[in-house]
Amino acid sequence: MHYEIKGFIIFLLTYFILTASTCVERVEPGLTAADFTKEKREILGDLLKQTIENNPEEYVVLSRRSKRDSVIITYLQTLYDQATQEIRQDRQSTPSNRWRTERTWDVIVLHDDNRYAFSLPGGHFYVSTGFLSTLSKGYEIYYLMAFEATNISGRYLIDNLISEYNTSTLLDLIETEETTANPSLLNIAKTLRDDLAFQDDIIKEIDRETGALICQTSIFDRFGIQPILEKLSTQEQYRDTRPSYANRIDFIAELGIEGCGTIKSTGLYERMVLKNLPK
């Protein structure tokens, strides 16, 4: 009898072990951030851009067909193309995971007195007229563009977005182009503009790469963030979503990046942007 009970217990233990092993084998690995390729980031970015354009009550987009507005947009687009040229060529990536070189990374200006700048995962850069009016020199806007381009290309933006929503949710939105889901594309667009904050250590890493990108692509002074920090208070929107850290200018100065120019302005920002901003 004793041996029968013992044998039965061994049988049960063996059964549970085999069952558990079978269950483990059947579990499929979950999606990871690596599944969000550059192609998928471009698709998501284009869907978000279209969502913004389809919501004029929330986002008033300056038109490229307007003569005055087109002067602003064309100038900014030229700078952004320059800042992102090396990134978009994407020489270091594998052929299966590169940015599409024929696709543009657009600059979109929003008529809004609030001060902010943000980007979409696929490369598009947004800035408000309120923020543009705060800037005064070309090297300031160039720093913002290089910062956001680094944010996009280095996966900082998409990884932060994945942390907020998870990979499966974002991939489902891409596949279905769902506008009524929770979260919707409009929800995500608002998060990118208003709430997607980055930790100090991430901002430092982006600053490190931004300085190198500026020196690689322009003759601008790489300290374009300095006057922005001096002008904006901690309560204003850009500082909330792209927070600064202690001794930021000292940190940037100590990076030892070579090859930069000292140009702060060519006068074009004042003529092309500040003189043409809508009142």
The structure's pTM equals: 0.86
Residue ranges of alpha helices (H) inside 90-137 are: 129-134
What phi-psi label fits residue 166: left (phi over 0), alpha (psi between -120 and 50 degrees) or beta?
A: left
The rounded radius of gyration (Å) of the Cα atoms in the chain is: 24
Q: How far is CA 257 from the centre of its chain?
A: 23
Contact assessment for residue 220 and residue 83, using Cβ atoms and an 8 Å cutoff: no
DSSP secondary structure letters along 173-198: HHHH--SSSSS-HHHHHHHHHHT---
Q: What's residue 177's pLDDT?
A: 61
- The answer to whether 41 and 160 are in contact (CB under 8 A) is no
Distance CA(277)–CA(78), nearest Å, equals 17
Alpha carbons 161 and 171: distance in angstroms, whole number: 12
Q: Torsion over CA of 81, 86, 87 and 89, rounded to 10 degrees?
A: 100
Q: What is the dihedral of CA 111, 143, 185, 62, to 10 degrees?
A: 20
Contact between residue 120 and residue 49 where contact means Cβ atoms under 8 Å apart: yes
Q: Give CA–CA dist 233/43, Å, rounded.
A: 35
Give CA separation, 36 vs 30, 40, 98, 158, in Å. Answer: 13, 6, 12, 8
pLDDT per 10-residue tile (average), the chain, 279 residues? 51 47 40 80 96 96 94 98 94 89 95 95 97 96 97 95 91 75 87 93 96 95 93 73 90 90 94 94
